[in-house]
A and B are shown apart, each in its own frame.
Chain A
């Protein structure tokens, strides 16, 4: 089978890295897209090491390509012909995504709140529902307060929030490298403005959260 690492534009040279389980990486050029993959007898199991090996190939290809969409780990095809067919069918959509992420990196943000603790038992179903609504409303406001200022520095963003058992926001932003310092300063400001939350800003990453390789 074939494991896909990335779809790239303007890939000059295939970087000198090995893929998952030490497999050699190869590429197919199809309709101006470079498809970087390795061949395996069986699908590789997800482990920390395999994930790192996958990410290492994505990083190396990103360094020598004009633009890149990372594939998720385990995105597999039966053989090279199947990969080429899928890429040809999705070429316009892939190209549009590649142009959108071109020149940008992904920054990740997590913000986690303290546990709410066990609330006193609600006296009625209505009281319970009202509390729940207030809790979700409070979390939605926090998301707007955090996400808004960061999104204004980004080309695009994605976010997911959980209100139970504690407030937890996971967001990703597509950012031009020149704006990374401003983005980090803004995270530091948010950190000061929300002392009860723990923040972690990670990256720059290849644009994993902005790549939809459906094919």
Chain B
């Protein structure tokens, strides 16, 4: 299975996971991200082990500003 090397998707999934944890279990505030992930042809989507710390996310956010 191929590994999807799309940094922006990794960032989105990681942010979704963080928001989900910090706000509450099961809160789907950013459900559109989950759907966006699932809309990618899943045969080609192999999100591999994903690592990000909050520090990484902050850098991402600062770079985006």
Contact = CB atoms under 8 A, between A and B. Distances in A.
Are A and B genuine complex partners?
yes
A54 B18 CA distance: 11
B53 interface: yes
Give the 4 A-B residue pairs with the shortest CB-CB distance, closest first. A208-B21, A200-B47, A198-B45, A202-B17
30 contacts: A46-B23, A46-B29, A52-B54, A54-B22, A58-B22, A59-B55, A70-B21, A73-B22, A74-B23, A108-B21, A110-B13, A110-B17, A112-B34, A112-B38, A114-B42, A115-B38, A170-B20, A188-B49, A191-B1, A192-B1, A196-B42, A197-B42, A198-B37, A198-B38, A198-B42, A202-B14, A202-B50, A202-B52, A205-B17, A208-B25
Interface string B9-37: 00001110111111111100100001001
Given A52-B61, A114-B42, A191-B46, A200 B54 contact: no
Interface residues of A, number: 43
A160 B37 CA distance: 18
Interface in A45-81: 46, 48-49, 51-52, 54-56, 58-59, 70, 72-74
A5 to B, nearest CB: 10
A158 B42 contact: no
B22 A72 contact: yes
A196 B51 CA distance: 22
B49 A184 contact: yes
Interface of B is mostly: helix
A107 to B, nearest CB: 10
A153 interface: no
A191 B42 CA distance: 12
B22 to A, nearest CB: 5
B20 to A, nearest CB: 8
A114 B57 CA distance: 28
